[in-house]
Chains A and B, each alone.
Chain A
Amino acid sequence: MNRFDYVRPATVAEAVAAAAQPGSAYLAAGTNLLDLMKGGVMRPARLVDLARVPGLDAIEALPDGGVRIGARVRNSDLAYDPGFARRFPAVAEALLSGASAQLRNAATVGGNLLQRTRCAYFYDPASACNKREAGAGCDAREGENRLHAVLGWSEQCIATHPSDFCVPLVALGAVVEIEGQAGRREVPLEEFHRLPGTTPERESVLAPGELIVAVRLPGEAAGFAGHARYVKLRERTSYAFAVVSATAGLRLEDGAIAEARLALGGVAAKPWRVPEAEAVLRGARPGAEAFRRAAEAALAEARPSGDNAFKIELARRILVRALTLAAAGTPERLPALPASPHAPHPGVSLHG
């Protein structure tokens, strides 16, 4: 790990001022940042520790029925907050399917949004990577890319965003509250992460030094609570990133879908909301046929970026699965294996 200056600001303003210096990085729990620094992937000159910044660790109910989650709220605290989990069960399920209990106990909301890709070439300083070093090339393009993006990628970068948490968040219309030297602004999560295009090194709309202070879910997002699920496909039962994942939230009226919220994970450089597919479902009767149509719409633009064509069909199927589970209703209690295809689903007919 490179040497760095360590500062521990006592207020948001101090933090933002400290981080305005080039080469600075915020330190939340450090579960991603320190990992990358140990690998020589990131070498910030100064760490601005958020540990003592007040006002970042609350989960607040909002008057509209929504919730405001401080940037430093720990992943597990959020997932196990009974009020939150009841209103936003798919978010809790996604959180609990991520990483491990230890990591979730440390990892923060802000850090989860800003965690960087797990692309192995990004992680390997000896490989060419446009994201690590603008213009260096992309060794993943012709390399081991079975798990890379199938949506929204560019010739310059085919990496995916690895977060589980962000997938239901984006589906539910979360908003990111940002504080910078110029003051406060808000960005919908859907617009927060950037697709690679020709500048894969720029991953979000944050300007250097800007701080995430909170993430908000609007009150209407709780309207999906009765029919909301997250499903995550992994190469082992737990403690693994998603090959692909999907969330579905449904608002049913008179047996028909009044509104659907759908998003995919592990398929693109951002959590991938699919409004086209949501539109397909509006007014439809829940069922295999409608779900498959939605899935087709969701992946209409998908194309393989390497040895990963299978992910396209897999993404369709996992979206259908998420929809099927959501339609059956959110379970009373999250399954023992959150988001896992191997979690039992009593009373739901999943497989035709």
Chain B
Amino acid sequence: MAELASSAAHVRHGSSIGQPLTRRDGQLKVTGGARYAADNHPPGMLHAALAVSSVARGRVTGLDLEAARAHPGVVAVMTPENRPALAQDPNDKSGPFVFRMELLQDDTVRYVGQPVAVVIAETLEAATEGAALLAPRYAAEPVSTGLEDGEAFVPPAVGVGAPAEVRHGDVEAGLAAAARRVEAVYETPAQYHNAMEPHAVVAAWEGDRLSIDTPSQGLVMAVGRVAGLFGIPPENVEIRSPFLGGGFGSKGAISGPQVLGILAAKLVGRPVKLVLKRDQMYGPVGHRAPTRQTLRLGVDGEGALTALHHHVRTASSRYDDFFEPSGSVSHTLYASPAIATTSDAVRLDSGTPIFMRAPGEASGSIALEGAIDEMAAACGMDPLEFRLRNYAEVEPTSGKPFSSKALRECYAQGAERFGWSGRPLAPRQMRDEDGLLVGWGVGTATFPALMMHGQARAVLRRDGSGLVETGAHDMGQGAWTAFAQIAADSLALPIDQLEFRAGHSGLPDAGIAGGSAHTATAGMAIHGAGADVIARLAELAMTDQRSPLFGAGNAGVVAREGRLVRRDDESRGESYAEILARAGLDEIEGRGTGAMDQAAQEHYAMHAHGAVFAEVKVDPELGQIRATRLVGAFAAGRIINPRLVRSQYYGGMIWGVSFALHEAAVVDRRTGRVMNANLGEYHVPVNADVPSLEAILVDEVDPHVNALGIKGVGEIGITGSAGAVANAVWHATGVRVRRFPIAIEELLGQP
């Protein structure tokens, strides 16, 4: 069997793992050949368009059906009146992560942007205009739109079933005894995932068999949901999702509009394509909930934390539950004898919030890193030194040791690369040659090393080639490449001898691509499947007298480059093909599973870590900010492909910049409408916003997280970065802005 577990992080191993291969799907993606869901066009296909509500609460009292139907090319209008029956009520809540959907079950409106009808037409133009012509009329009710509105309550759980309150030690006592205290309120806005690819579905029914192209971060879950809703066996549902044009959490669970496309196909008995318009992505497909976070910190005379209280006010929708778990970062990041995280929430007339890249960690991190920075400043300490002073040697709230934690190295390497040592302590000390204010900030990055549950199948074929398949999802993280690398090593084959299949619901369940856990989960499943095949093959060889491996027995055999060889004498062995041929087998199959190691979980706290250093420049008179330089150093266990991982870090760091400086939904308080529901005014960074990024991959060997030693890299980049940028703005200007994104007007005070 290929040996994988023992070598150092991202050093070259076997032939593939650790190699900075370019993307195997690169050619397809640069030629326009990669087919995303909306690129499909089955024969006879019709186009569907949504009509969505413009009020946040109430009822639809009328639709101008005549006008829509009269539009040339319109084939049907789907409303609650004629929507095909479903086997399940879309309002039923069968589990905490089965979200309620609006599938035209009635005339109720619960947020702006909710689908209220679907127009199906021969052309996209006709469907789109048909939907506009419906011009819904409403009986509207008063709405709740802000964190101040309505009665706050303590949610039963936050995030993925985490407790709403965690208390460790006596925070009040810690604060009372503190030499210095900081209390600060940080506000983060509602944010929308805005993957570049709008949610899309192309659905075709044949009898009670359903075939769909749709982007999905969780194929098997989507199959289950769709099968349940339509009352058909899961094996009747086939979903193809070879490429997602980004997901970031919004394509984790199948969304209402995707199901509406399937319903539309059923209604008209022809294949239907439904693609969300950009503005329709600000409602039914989730968002990051707004938060207001109150941090209370105390330190002793040496700058060591005596208490940390992180209170989170967030919001869910009026009709379903998801509570942004922003407090979780405070459980792990800094040592303190007393830590409490508490949450409460209000209900808003908005769509239901959901996971969005680093859910909880991102919003919580920017607040915690800000407060930590404030305390460092209050203590007159360098913010990095302050963080080191409060370095958590064990996970503070649980007392567990970390399975690995190379955060010190991250701080050191990042600081060195950035040139942190030259940083003046006081703010507003640095200017560039043009007189722009310059500030430097640091933030600590962290993200839990999670694992979902996944499976894979591996096959060795008589011609010596291999096949590995798992229903993995490529959202851009590089699944096609990284998994092929793991697969090639698991079968000890050169990667060009390996066929890798993913992105299809008929393949073994790879689990959800979320929680930065996909590479670990599906990777372990692949690793196991390969090992299983090799073990079976070894068994065949060692029990066959004609094999040079016969009786290798206790010494055992190892797989090398398409051959099995004796461990005690690698010159003795034979090729996979020879073994299979002699056994008269066309192929040999193995299966593997990836799952969390419960025992290890009980003993260890498992997190990836990092340190991000940011430079910003601020125009002293005009307040315009630019994040001119970011250096991130991250330790996340074994790195399968450093080229892809760097890209993940850069992407995360840019999200951090965006969090601190750019993106926010502007919600009209009176109506609950997102007034910038587009990509022109909902600002995400453009190329010119991030002139310099560097990511350092810090070596880390983790023997406990899983046999491959993989932690996640997809989300950690946003944590730490957001705070580092915000802290740098303070350092540049002397103004501590606690509401994000930092607005120009907040910085105009001191010319």
CB-CB under 8 A for A341 and B129, given A236-B683, A237-B688, A237-B689: no
Interface membership of chain B positions 51-68, coded 1 if the CB is closer than 8 angstroms to chain A and 0 otherwise? 000110000000000000
List, in ascending order, chain A residues with CB within 8 A of B617's CB. 342
**B245 interfacial contact with A, CB 8 Å:** no
**B416 interfacial contact with A, CB 8 Å:** no
**A300 interfacial contact with B, CB 8 Å:** no
**Bound CA–CA A318/B435 (angstroms):** 15
Q: Is the pair B431, A351 in contact by a Cβ cutoff of 8 Å?
A: yes
Which residues in window 236-251 of A have CB below 8 A to B? 236-241, 243
Q: Is the pair A351, B621 in contact by a Cβ cutoff of 8 Å?
A: yes
Q: Is the pair B622, A120 in contact by a Cβ cutoff of 8 Å?
A: no
Q: Is the pair A144, B748 in contact by a Cβ cutoff of 8 Å?
A: no
Interface membership of chain A positions 136-179, coded 1 if the CB is closer than 8 angstroms to chain B and 0 otherwise? 00010011101000000000000000000000000000000000
Q: Is the pair B624, A1 in contact by a Cβ cutoff of 8 Å?
A: no
Q: Is the pair B662, A239 in contact by a Cβ cutoff of 8 Å?
A: no
Select the stretch in B516-524, B591-599, B665-673 that faces chain A.
B665-673
**Bound CA–CA A236/B657 (angstroms):** 11
**B434 interfacial contact with A, CB 8 Å:** yes
Q: Is the pair B662, A235 in contact by a Cβ cutoff of 8 Å?
A: yes
Q: How far is the CB of A148 from chain B (nearest CB, A)?
A: 12
**B151 interfacial contact with A, CB 8 Å:** no
**A317 interfacial contact with B, CB 8 Å:** yes
Q: Is the pair B626, A237 in contact by a Cβ cutoff of 8 Å?
A: yes
Q: Is the pair B689, A342 in contact by a Cβ cutoff of 8 Å?
A: no
Residue from the list A2, A310, A348 in contact with B129, Cβ < 8 A: A2
**B619 interfacial contact with A, CB 8 Å:** yes
Closest B residue to A344 using CB positions: B434
**A182 interfacial contact with B, CB 8 Å:** no
Closest A residue to B279 using CB positions: A39
Residue from the list A3, A313, A351 in contact with B748, Cβ < 8 A: A313
Closest A residue to B674 using CB positions: A120
Q: Is the pair A314, B436 in contact by a Cβ cutoff of 8 Å?
A: no
Residue from the list A2, A3, A314, A344 in contact with B622, Cβ < 8 A: A314
**Bound CA–CA A240/B687 (angstroms):** 13
Closest A residue to B53 using CB positions: A126
List, in ascending order, chain B residues with CB within 8 A of A321's CB. 621-622
Q: Is the pair B622, A239 in contact by a Cβ cutoff of 8 Å?
A: no
List, in ascending order, chain B residues with CB within 8 A of A124's CB. 54, 673, 675
CB-CB under 8 A for A126 and B744, given A234-B624, A342-B624, A342-B626: no
Q: Is the pair A120, B681 in contact by a Cβ cutoff of 8 Å?
A: yes
Q: How far is the CB of A237 from chain B (nearest CB, A)?
A: 4
Q: Is the pair B433, A344 in contact by a Cβ cutoff of 8 Å?
A: yes
Residue of B54, B435, B667, B744 with most partner-chain A CB within 10 A: B744
Q: Is the pair B675, A121 in contact by a Cβ cutoff of 8 Å?
A: yes
Residue from the list A120, A243, A344 in contact with B676, Cβ < 8 A: A120
Interface of B is mostly: loop
**B229 interfacial contact with A, CB 8 Å:** no
Q: How far is the CB of B751 from chain A (nearest CB, A)?
A: 7
**A345 interfacial contact with B, CB 8 Å:** yes
CB-CB under 8 A for A143 and B675, given A237-B689, A320-B621: yes
**Bound CA–CA A3/B72 (angstroms):** 10
**Bound CA–CA A232/B16 (angstroms):** 50
**B555 interfacial contact with A, CB 8 Å:** no
**Bound CA–CA A146/B675 (angstroms):** 12
List, in ascending order, chain A residues with CB within 8 A of B667's CB. 144
Q: Is the pair B129, A317 in contact by a Cβ cutoff of 8 Å?
A: no
Q: Is the pair B622, A236 in contact by a Cβ cutoff of 8 Å?
A: no
List, in ascending order, chain B residues with CB within 8 A of A240's CB. 683
List, in ascending order, chain B residues with CB within 8 A of A10's CB. none
**A118 interfacial contact with B, CB 8 Å:** yes
Residue of A239, A240, A321 with most partner-chain B CB within 10 A: A239
Which residues in window 641-693 of B have CB below 8 A to A? 661-662, 666-668, 670-671, 673, 675-676, 680-681, 683, 685-689
**Bound CA–CA A313/B436 (angstroms):** 19
**B250 interfacial contact with A, CB 8 Å:** no
Q: How far is the CB of A75 from chain B (nearest CB, A)?
A: 17
**Bound CA–CA A133/B628 (angstroms):** 44
Q: Is the pair B668, A341 in contact by a Cβ cutoff of 8 Å?
A: no
List, in ascending order, chain A residues with CB within 8 A of B748's CB. 310, 313-314, 317
**Bound CA–CA A100/B748 (angstroms):** 28
List, in ascending order, chain B residues with CB within 8 A of A102's CB. none
Q: Is the pair A310, B745 in contact by a Cβ cutoff of 8 Å?
A: yes
Residue from the list B129, B619, B673, B688 in contact with A126, Cβ < 8 A: B673
Q: How far is the CB of B686 from chain A (nearest CB, A)?
A: 5
List, in ascending order, chain B residues with CB within 8 A of A342's CB. 436, 617, 619, 624, 626
Q: Is the pair B681, A239 in contact by a Cβ cutoff of 8 Å?
A: no
List, in ascending order, chain A residues with CB within 8 A of B620's CB. 351
List, in ascending order, chain B residues with CB within 8 A of A348's CB. 434
List, in ascending order, chain B residues with CB within 8 A of A341's CB. 436, 619, 622, 624
Q: Is the pair A1, B683 in contact by a Cβ cutoff of 8 Å?
A: no
Which residues in window 215-244 of A have CB below 8 A to B? 233-241, 243
Q: List 22 A-B contacts (CB under 8 A).
A: A1-B128, A40-B132, A118-B680, A124-B54, A124-B673, A139-B668, A143-B675, A146-B745, A233-B623, A235-B683, A236-B686, A236-B688, A238-B689, A243-B744, A313-B748, A314-B748, A321-B621, A337-B688, A344-B433, A346-B434, A350-B621, A352-B435
Q: Knowing that A238-B687, A239-B686 are A-B contacts, what are 20 other residue pairs whose CB atoms are under 8 Å apart, sorted by A's residue number? A: A1-B125, A1-B128, A2-B129, A40-B132, A120-B681, A127-B673, A139-B668, A144-B666, A146-B745, A235-B683, A236-B661, A236-B662, A237-B686, A238-B686, A317-B622, A320-B621, A340-B624, A348-B434, A350-B621, A351-B431
Residues of A with Cβ closer than 8 Å to B?
A: 1-3, 40, 118, 120-121, 124-127, 139, 142-144, 146, 233-241, 243, 310, 313-314, 317-318, 320-321, 337, 340-342, 344-346, 348-352
| 6 closest Cβ pairs, A-B complex | A126-B54, A351-B435, A310-B745, A237-B688, A120-B675, A341-B619
